[in-house]
Amino acid sequence: MRLWISKNSEVPIREQLVTQIVLGIVSNDLKEAERLPSTRDLARRYDIHANTVSSAYRELARRGWVEFRKGSGVYVRARNDESLEHGLALEQLIARFFRNLREEGYSLADIRAGIERSLSVQRPDHFLLLEPDPELREILVAEISSVTKVKVKGAGPEDVDGALTGAAPLVLYGHMDQFAESIKPETDLLVLHSASVVERMRGQTRPSPESLVAIVSRWPEFLKWARTMLVAAGLDADALSFRDARERNWEKGLRSAAFVITDSLMAPRIPAGCEVKVFRILADASLKEIREYGERFF
């Protein structure tokens, strides 16, 4: 398969590689189980950095287009019947697209330049957190905003239509069902995972038996989750003070607590003088994935 690499394009070389290899697969230029050139060979052939090729191959593997075989190389991954049918439909659309443009007198160079401009225009410029629960949505937006410089917005099922334009969507594992009709199969969706109790309790010091521990959140499920977790960790239920931050005077008497457990949204609102422990909802691995995605694509 021949690739066209433009080093002066606004479209990153990595994205050029990913897009053209995907098109090669769906157009059947690259056959199922065909071995792709090695990272070193492809880098040498087009005079580009080997890390760029390696990053493109990893992205293709993440999306399910290729697979790494230990000690053997990178191969086009076998697709299921549904994927093959979708690939055939896409191949027909692409062929018709090229045929129409050639009939209008455009050269392949003109078409390629136009595609690159379109890809550049359509790159996402913000994250969109899809979450049906409005309180949880605000907490997750705050958590994600703390690990990336990319703008983060939230949307519920009633708001998602039209909100996906220019967005890289995120959704919590198990919450996708309410958005399934609005998300196209080819959408590059990041599925996030919640932190385990073990992950959140790791490194925490147990307070003395007579200490009062306050738990503050606007999200009722956070308060329930914290109660279960802390009691399971051996804390006396009578030593726990739960504050629903939607209620008036929720902050009253907080300074008498040994420390305050809260979420990322409420942490900046806890009165000064309180020792604050922020328990994040999202797993560290998911936050890392979001940060790295933002660094690569925005």
Per-residue pLDDT of the chain (298 residues; tens, 9 = 90+): 678 787 876 678 888 898 888 877 866 778 889 999 999 999 999 999 999 999 999 999 998 899 999 889 999 987 654 444 455 566 667 767 777 787 888 887 788 777 766 655 557 889 999 999 999 999 999 999 999 999 999 999 999 877 888 899 999 998 988 898 888 776 789 999 988 655 665 666 667 777 899 999 999 999 988 887 777 667 788 899 999 999 999 999 999 999 999 999 999 999 999 999 999 999 999 999 999 999 988 8
The verdict on residue 5 lying in a domain is no
Give the containing element (helix H, strand E) for 171: strand 167-172
Decide the pairing of beta strands 73-76 and 66-69.
antiparallel
Q: Which two tokens stand for residue 155?
A: 């949307």
Residues 107 and 153 in one domain: no
- CATH number at 61 reads 1.10.10.10
Q: From CA 161, how far away is CA 165, in angstroms rounded? A: 9
Q: Which stretches within the chain are classed as H helix?
A: 13-26, 39-46, 50-62, 81-103, 108-121, 134-145, 197-201, 220-232, 284-297
The verdict on residue 83 lying in a domain is yes
Q: Which two tokens stand for residue 294?
A: 């933002």
Which residues in 2-160 belong to E strands, given as ranges? 66-69, 73-76, 126-130, 152-155
Q: Which two tokens stand for residue 213?
A: 């521990």
The verdict on residue 4 lying in a domain is no
Residue 164 · residue 182 · CB < 8 Å? yes
Residues 68 and 184 in one domain: no
Q: What is the pLDDT of residue 5?
A: 83
The verdict on residue 6 lying in a domain is no
The verdict on residue 232 lying in a domain is yes
Residues 150 and 30 in one domain: no
Residues 176 and 292 in one domain: yes
Tell me the residue range of the domain where 166 lies.
Answer: 126-195+285-297
Residues 293 and 253 in one domain: no
Residues 183 and 291 in one domain: yes
Q: From CA 117, how far away is CA 111, in angstroms rounded? A: 10
Residue 140 · residue 172 · CB < 8 Å? yes
Helix (H, G, I), strand (E, B) or coil at 127: strand
The verdict on residue 75 lying in a domain is yes
Residues 17 and 59 in one domain: yes
Residues 190 and 201 in one domain: no
- Quote the number of domains for the chain: 3
Q: From CA 200, how far away is CA 195, in angstroms rounded? A: 7
Beta-ladder partners of 190: 170
From 88, 105, 121, the end of a domain falls on 121
The verdict on residue 251 lying in a domain is yes
The verdict on residue 189 lying in a domain is yes
Residues 57 and 72 in one domain: yes
Residue 201 · residue 182 · CB < 8 Å? no
Our CA angle for 242, 244, 250, nearest 5°, is: 90
Residues 158 and 183 in one domain: yes
From 92, 121, 150, the end of a domain falls on 121
- CATH number at 171 reads 3.40.50
Residues 44 and 165 in one domain: no
Residues 78 and 213 in one domain: no
Model pTM score: 0.57
